[in-house]
Amino acid sequence: MATIDDWLEGARLRTLPAAAAPVLIGVGGAVSLAAFSPLRSILALLVALLLQIGVNFSNDYSDGVRGTDDWRTGPPRLTGGGVVSPRTVLMAALACFALAGALGLILVALSGQWFLLIFGALAVAAAWFYTGGSNPYGYLGVGFSELFVFVFFGLMATVATTWVQIPVAPWWLWTAASGVGLLSVALLFVNNIRDIPTDEVAGKRTLPVRMGDRYARLSYQLLVFIGLGFGVVSLTALPQIVYLTVAIAFLFAFIFVTRPVRQGAAGRDLLAVLRNTGFLTLAYGIVLAVGLALS
């Protein structure tokens, strides 16, 4: 019988900072625009976290029933490891999606921005068909996975959080959203770099598999560097000394987090990079949220 620890591992808590970061930035944007709503901000955060957990359970189910996880090097999955029945994992994923949808409906009703329901439905569809369905786009390796992560866990999550509080989206909000989107893509990239050997065996053709280890590692570093760079550009309204401090801190963070990838870490050694990239994304969200709120 599965333990609480098994379910927590299945929920992949290390990915949740990346889900929270864009919402924090969106909240900072709302504060900057003098439109902060605690209730709407909390609802936006819960929706983002539930969608991420739903994605994680959905991937666990889909990869498990396909046998993709039979060769994985990371922590064992609920379905692939035989810890929980596939149906139970599927029900957990659908429950998360349903609860996220219900909270999202409340949020949209409060804001009156009904068109956002379309984007919410698209986000759930993108989450499911990443590894679900007869032809999951996550197995194609043509960039759809990275594009949808950038759009839904970067642009949409950030801008929509501000938009449900005030229907305004200044350029600096889009720049900050682009940065967190690229960091989220970097998180996906380093996860797939770790799995290149096993994904090749399982027939899962992710973009890193197609690019090869060397170019995938270079791409990961560029994603992190450019993502942090977008954040620096977003904070130009801050006092110069604060602005320079943030820029230098981001540079050192980039060097520290990406070093193992440059040095050739592989397999389980990349789990620390995955964790640190998640924490970097969260730190980016906190810094941007505070910086925008004070601008």
- For residues 158 and 69, the model is more confident at 158
pLDDT tens digits, residue range 277-290? 999 999 999 999 99
pLDDT of residue 229: 97
| pLDDT band at residue 207 using 50, 70 and 90 as cut-offs | very high
Kindly report, residue by residue over 160-179, the tens digit of the pLDDT: 999 999 999 999 999 999 99
Mean pLDDT score, 243-250 = 96
| Whether the predicted pLDDT of 68 surpasses 70 | no
pLDDT at 94: 95
How large a percentage of the chain has pLDDT more than 70? 97
Q: Please answer whether residues 165 and 30 qualify as being in contact, where contact means their C-beta atoms are separated by less than 8 angstroms.
A: yes
Mean pLDDT confidence for 116-145: 88
How many residues are present in the chain?
A: 295
pLDDT value of position 28: 97
Given pLDDT bands bounded at 50, 70 and 90, which one contains residue 74? Answer: low
Sequence letter at residue 187? L
127 or 48: which leads in pLDDT: 48
